[in-house]
Structure formats: C-alpha cells, structure tokens
Amino acid sequence: MVRHAAPACRRATRRNGNVKPVSCAVVALAFCALAPISVSAAQLESLRLHESPEYTRVVFDTTAPVRYRAMVLENPHRFVIDFEDVSLGPAFDPTAVALGRDRVDGVRVGRRGDGYRIVLDVTAKLQPKDFTLLPVDPYGHRVVVDLYDTGARAAPRIVVTQPRGKRDVVVAVDAGHGGEDPGALGPGRLQEKTVVLSIARKLEAMIDAEPGFDAFLVRDGDYYIGHAKRRQIARDRRADLFVSIHADGFESSQPNGASVYTLSDRGATSETAAYLADKENRSDLIGGVGTISLDDKPDGVAEILLDISMDAFRIRSIEVGGYILEQLGKTTKLHKQRVEQAAFLVLKAPDVASVLVETGFISNPAEARRLNQRDYQEDLSRAIVRGIAIYMNEKPPTGTLLAWQREHGGVRYTISRGDTLSEIAVRYGVSAERIRRANKLSNDAIHVGQVIIIPAG
C-alpha cells in the first residue's frame, strides 16, 4: 500500500519550522523535458536504490516516458523530484526502499497537480546527476538520478605497504554489468549481472588465499560502473591483472561453453568475438554512466608510452588468457579453443594485462542452470585461479614475492584440499622428484595444511 502523504513540500517545511515556500530553497535544479508527449497516464511503477561507493542511484520505473523536475533542498538535506501527469501504479510502494541505506533515510510521496512529488530525505549534501534510460529487458522506461557525495565522504586513499621487492601480485576481479544493466538474460529471469557477481566473489576469495596474491573486487554490489571507471579502479590499485567475468547470451539457445577474450585494436579474430565485444561495449549506454557517448579516451597516458607498453601488456594478456583457458578446459566445455581478440572497451587499460572470461552462455538453459549453482561457480573459479597462479609463478611481475622466490630458490607452499604432488609440480614448472628431494619425502603422500618447499624451477 502506498501512503499518500500530505504534499511533501508542506511536510518538509513544517518539519523545519520554516514557512518559506520550498522553491526559495532550491540549491540545484535540473530540468528535463522530453519530446512532447500526447499520451497521458504514464504510471510510476517502482522506485529502486542501488548504492555504490561514490553515489546512490535512484531509479524510477515508469510505463512510458515522463516529464520531471529534480532538485536538491537544504535544511534538512533532501532530494525532491516532481513528476508531471503521472499516476501511481498498483505496486508502487517506496516505503521500505530506504531502510538500512547509507545516504537515504526516508522516502515520502505526495500528490502535486496532475502528478506526484517524491521526497528523499538524505543524510548529507549530495550532488544530483539525472538522465533517462530506454527500456531494456527486463526493465522499461526509467528516470535515473545519481546522488553523488560532495567531497566530505570521499573514499580514503588506499596506501599499500609491502616489503620492497616482495609485493603481492595484484588481481582486479571485475563482475560485468550491474545495476540498470542486467547483462544477458537466462531462463527464469536469471540475470548475468547476478551470476557473475557471485562467481567474481568466489574467485576473489580464492585468489586472495593464494600465497603471494592480493585480489579485490571492482564491483561489489548491484550497481553499474562505466568501462573507463572499471579500468581506472584497476590502475589506481596498481593491478597486475584485470579479469572481467561474464556469462553471455546469444539469440539462439544452442551455443554453450566457456571462452576467454583479450583486447584487439586491429579487428576481431572471429565473428563471435566481434559480436560479443559489440554487445559488452553497449553496457555504458544500458547501465547509464550519465552520458550517452561511447567515446572512450585513453587513460591519461602519454601516447608514446602507450604504444610501447601496450604491446608488452597485450602479450601478457594473451599468455595468461591461454593459461586460464587451458584450466577451464579441464572443468567445462570450451566454446572457443584459443584466446580470441576483439575491441572490448573494458580491457583497454594500457598498462594492465586484461582478460575477459565468458564463463558460459546464460542463454543455454542447461548451462544457465549450472552457472547458477554454487558448486559449478566454485569449479569455474578454481580453474581460473589455477590458470592465473601457474602463469604468474612462471612469469612473475617484477618486484613481486613470486619473482623473488623464483630467483632465490624455494617457494613455501601450504597444501590445500584436492592438491596432489604431481599437479603442484606442473603448476610450478618443476619435477615431482625435485619437490620430493627438497622436502625429504619418500613418496607422494601429502596432507592438508602441510607446508612444503618448491625448489626454484
């Protein structure tokens, strides 16, 4: 049930003990006029909030394009949006939406003229940025307002302190899509954004547990981040590797299997790769980065440097992609037997090895079911970690603990469940016999928790 409160403006002023008309207190004003609409009776269907580290996204789902006026008011801080010529849909119930939120602590709805005024009580001064999004399954027309922090709450700088020459290999794990961009859709309203976040969280935890590795999530919640911002987050954290996780869809339900992609500026290596890159690149339009331009500037690196470093990082991307693909092939069916390349915007960081893993096709009902299962998500994550760990142990980035260990003979390794001596030997590129000798083992028996020395390869 919707509580039709007294007009929100009157309530707000009464609360403040202030009798001035609300319009005098307008601090920021945004006005959006869509093409004249002849058909009336658009409905407000629902109100949703997505919280991200930098802003809270407020989404109004409407049955048709609507006219609105958005503003920020002070004393107390609140965000006000007036919708003209709308009615409330039968399921519109914003009362619980603000519960337990960071920046929003109340929502009020009031009739105003032929439309409605909606007031969000906010906890601090926030900067609004509004725009509209066109329908994309499963969403319809949307009015979106991003409420940005205005500085005081800016995220603390992350200072990494690690012994020189023994730093961790840093891996950025990026769950594709999010928020207003659901990604590909599977049976039973299964959404790519949800499945890939679940896989990404498992992957991040597993990488983090590997000695000499430090992983973090680029997106850790149901909100959208633009391609450029995703790359920037990886570069700010000085990531050695950026892994973007997807589970894509196709028009037909036939295709299945996993595949791995890296960036190409010189055309795609296959039709599928071109198709997927094109599809993934639309995310900024679907998810809404607040701009409708697909223009993508380089990340502030001098052109010359970019050219030189890019080749080295491209090679590393293809190499690590190959290792991941090989391990995935032991766990699941592969859609493509080699690492494919296409112009994926999210992989464009010039100085971070970057790969995109399509974990499978969510449009294939059988694969969609598996992708949504915890065990299968863990199997996929384990395969990806194995690929990354083997590669990074073989070709560690300079200045890392892995590089130091490789140089100074001997990696300390703690046995975990499912490990075998022969598999560890393959992983570190040494013979099982050398591991046995270095650890004075008379046979291949090892146990969980045991620490062994892996001699330099």
Query: How far is residue 428 from each of residues 333, 382, 391, 406, 409, measured CA to CA in Å?
Result: 25, 16, 9, 10, 12
Beta carbon of residue 219, minimum distance to Zn ion (angstroms, whole number): 12
Hey, what amino acid is at 237? R
Which lies closer to Zn ion via its Cβ, residue 317 or residue 400?
317
Which lies closer to Zn ion via its Cβ, residue 286 or residue 339?
286
Which lies closer to Zn ion via its Cβ, residue 110 or residue 176?
176
Sign, Cα dihedral of 365, 370, 373, 374: negative
Beta carbon of residue 261, minimum distance to Zn ion (angstroms, whole number): 11
Q: How far is CA 334 from the centre of its chain?
A: 24
Q: How far is CA 395 from the centre of its chain?
A: 27
Beta carbon of residue 224, minimum distance to Zn ion (angstroms, whole number): 12
Beta carbon of residue 6, minimum distance to Zn ion (angstroms, whole number): 45
| Phi–psi pair at 144, nearest 5 degrees | -120, 135
Which lies closer to Zn ion via its Cβ, residue 183 or residue 226?
183
Which lies closer to Zn ion via its Cβ, residue 178 or residue 396?
178
HEC per residue, 122-133: ECCCEEEEEEEE
Distance CA 31, CA 132 (A): 12
Beta carbon of residue 379, minimum distance to Zn ion (angstroms, whole number): 20
Query: How far is residue 134 from each of residues 63, 114, 141, 142, 143, measured CA to CA in Å?
Result: 11, 24, 5, 7, 9
Residue 208's region, left for phi above 0, alpha for psi from -120 to 50, else beta, is: alpha
Contacts of 88 (CB under 8 A, 6+ apart): 2, 43, 44, 109, 116
Beta carbon of residue 356, minimum distance to Zn ion (angstroms, whole number): 8
Distance CA 39, CA 26 (A): 30
Beta carbon of residue 363, minimum distance to Zn ion (angstroms, whole number): 11
Which lies closer to Zn ion via its Cβ, residue 287 or residue 387?
287
Which lies closer to Zn ion via its Cβ, residue 341 or residue 405?
341
Positions touching Zn ion (CB under 5 A) are 176, 183, 246, 248
Beta carbon of residue 196, minimum distance to Zn ion (angstroms, whole number): 7
Beta carbon of residue 321, minimum distance to Zn ion (angstroms, whole number): 16
| Phi–psi pair at 112, nearest 5 degrees | -150, 110
Count the alpha carbons within 13 Å of 343 in the hemisphere toward its beta carbon: 8
Beta carbon of residue 166, minimum distance to Zn ion (angstroms, whole number): 36
Long-range contacts of residues 33-39, Cβ cutoff 8 Å, at least 24 apart: 33/67, 34/65, 34/66, 34/67, 34/132, 35/65, 37/64, 37/65, 37/66, 37/67, 37/85, 39/64
Which lies closer to Zn ion via its Cβ, residue 183 or residue 257?
183
Beta carbon of residue 365, minimum distance to Zn ion (angstroms, whole number): 18
Which lies closer to Zn ion via its Cβ, residue 190 or residue 402?
190
Which lies closer to Zn ion via its Cβ, residue 70 or residue 199?
199
Query: How far is residue 370 from each of residues 41, 192, 325, measured CA to CA in Å?
Result: 43, 13, 18
- Cβ-closest position to Zn ion: 246
Which lies closer to Zn ion via its Cβ, residue 82 or residue 248?
248
